[in-house]
Amino acid sequence: MLTLRKSADRGYADHGWLKSFHSFSFADYYDPAHMGVGNLRVINEDRIAPGTGFGTHGHRDMEIVSYVLEGALAHKDSMGNGSGDRSKAAGVIRPGDVQRMSAGTGVQHSEFNHATDQTTHFLQIWLLPRERGIAPGYEQKHFDAAAKRGRLALVASPDGAEGSVTIHADASIRAGLFDGAERAELPLNPQRNTYVHLVRGGLRVNDRQLQAGDALHLKGEPGLVLEGGENAEVLVFDLAA
């Protein structure tokens, strides 16, 4: 089964300082046909205006992954990350970085674009954890373009395999860059969910043409084929059934 979700069909919110596309129901956008896929609950494509950001707010029992496309995002939390303490993570994420925050029993954090002349463009991804009530945690790693060029690099997984960040969820995330003749194949478990989100550019996925912001949900398929890229950047999610 292949289900195409077009970019233009996503929810949209314009708060002035924040412009956000919602792949799934979120905040004031509610569509009972789009509540998530498997244990994937949120993919928000956010653009934060210069000198603005999310003030301190709380989360719990959610695995939150941030993936920056342009600009920079300064993170600060109640675990001490971004506080300037050298024993903690710096907390600023830039293109190529993948940040994982496990909200667990509860965490407070803020996210800010300190630039005076550049919008921060990033994806905010939420996944349901394997278990509730774990200790909050934070991790940040960089994956350069070479690691993703013409292939699907593992950037998040339950066991931190291949240098990925560790998410406490039955899920994994791969990222790839494809252009021209570059091509990748990935065997799939037909019993699980696969969700392909095209971050930018154009890409053919199992003979379906996707453009920036489009997504394809695969279930019961034996494999994934990515080809015909046009400056494409893509995320591939392996998700609980």
pLDDT at position 68 is 95
pLDDT at position 39 is 97
* pTM recorded for the entire structure: 0.95
Mean pLDDT estimate for the chain: 94
How do the domains of the chain map onto residue ranges? Answer: 2-239
Structure confidence by residue, pLDDT tens digits, 106-157:
999 899 999 999 999 999 999 999 999 999 999 999 999 999 999 999 999 9
* Dihedral in degrees, nearest 10, Cα atoms 161, 164, 24, 129: 60
In the predicted structure, residue 85 carries a pLDDT above the cut 70: no
Residue of 148, 201, 206 whose CA lies nearest to 173: 148
Distance of CA 60 to the CA centre of its chain: 18
In the predicted structure, residue 80 carries a pLDDT above the cut 60: yes
In the predicted structure, residue 83 carries a pLDDT above the cut 90: no
Q: What is the mean pLDDT of residues 167-179?
A: 98
Q: Torsions phi, psi of 163, nearest 5?
A: 80, 15
In the predicted structure, residue 87 carries a pLDDT above the cut 60: no
Structure confidence by residue, pLDDT tens digits, 29-49:
999 999 999 999 999 999 999
- Rounded Cα distance, 28 and 12, in Å: 9
pLDDT at position 81 is 85
pLDDT at position 203 is 98
In the predicted structure, residue 11 carries a pLDDT above the cut 70: yes
pLDDT at position 202 is 98
Tell which CATH architecture fits domain 2-239. Sandwich (2.60)
